[in-house]
Amino acid sequence: MAGLKRTISTGTTRLSARASPYNAGATSFESDTNPASPRRSKRIKLEPKVEETLEDIVETKERAVKVESATSGASKKAGVAKTPRKPKPIPQALAVPHPAPPKWQETYTTIKQMRARILAPVDTMGCDQAQHKETDPKTKDEVTDAAVSKLRDALGGSLTVDALIVADDATISEAIGKVGFWRRKTEYIKKTAQRLRDDFDSDVPKTVDELCSLPGVGPKMAFLALQVAWDLYLPYFSLAMTPT
């Protein structure tokens, strides 16, 4: 009985049963598969999926920006420069003037009569009033007016181009700290003062395109500056609605 051997098939593996030499009441099973050539499993082990966190996404983007910046810097060192974008000219007048609204002149006259009896902040402050407080003729609201007055005092009493150039950033920032985006505007003020001295003889430019070439200046402020600084009323604003 000890040497009795019988084979059992399980479909893919053949097992041989034989009596245990150590216990007559026990049966041991052995595989007939050759251990030298084990059957290869067709199952594919999948790696656990790792979810990408927000920090991973940000880190990946920052790494890409650094690589792009390094590549751009290498290109500049190699003498490869990008072609500067040609500035788009600012229209000085509309090709087709807007038609005058009906009864606009009666409305305009009524508003003038109402405003004659009311003192608004625009009457005592703003871009057209700031120049009256200056000793140097070359050079919106309550917050802006207060910031300009504080900056004027910090620079010795007048907002001159030379005074802005020699002033440090901290002095300008402390004066205009109540206005929005004061850090960016501090940079704009310094760069604009430098441009005015180098390119415009420390004076206000006389065209919309030149004004818009200054840091932080857009078409609206350019037209207002021309009106206030040079008493120029362009047809872009007046058109057919200019009161007679």
* CATH number reported for the structural domain that contains residue 130 in this entry: 1.10.340.30
Q: Is residue 22 part of a domain?
A: no
CB–CB of 172/164 below 8 Å? yes
Query: By the 8 A CB rule, do 187 and 215 touch?
Result: yes
Q: What three-state secondary structure class fits 222?
A: helix
Number of domain units in the chain: 1
Domain annotation covers residue 6 = no
Asked about 103 being catalytic, the answer comes back as: no
Residue 136 lies in a domain: yes
Residue-number span of the structural domain to which 214 is assigned? 120-241
Split at pLDDT 50, 70, 90, the class of 189 is very high
pLDDT digits (tens, 9 = 90+) for 75-120: 555 555 667 777 778 777 777 877 888 898 899 899 989 988 888 7
Of the candidates 243, 198, 210, 237, the one whose C-alpha atom is nearest the C-alpha of residue 98 is: 237
Paired tokens of 203: 């004076």
**Domain membership flag for residue 207:** yes
DSSP for 45-66, written as a single string: PPPPPPPPPHHHHHHHHHHHHH
DSSP string of 96-122, one letter each residue = SPPPPPTTHHHHHHHHHHHHHT---HH
The residue-averaged pLDDT of 191-206 equals 93
Model pLDDT for residues 23-76, shown as the tens digit of each residue: 666 666 666 555 555 555 555 555 555 555 666 666 777 777 666 666 665 555
Position 60 in a domain? no
pLDDT of residue 228: 80
- How does pLDDT run across 121-158, given as a tens digit for each residue? 777 766 666 656 665 555 456 788 888 889 999 999 88
pTM of the model: 0.49
Helix (H, G, I), strand (E, B) or coil at 186: helix
Helix (H) / strand (E) element for 29: namely: strand 27-31
List 5, 49, 86, 220, catalytic entry:
220
What average pLDDT does range 210-217 have in this prediction?
A: 93
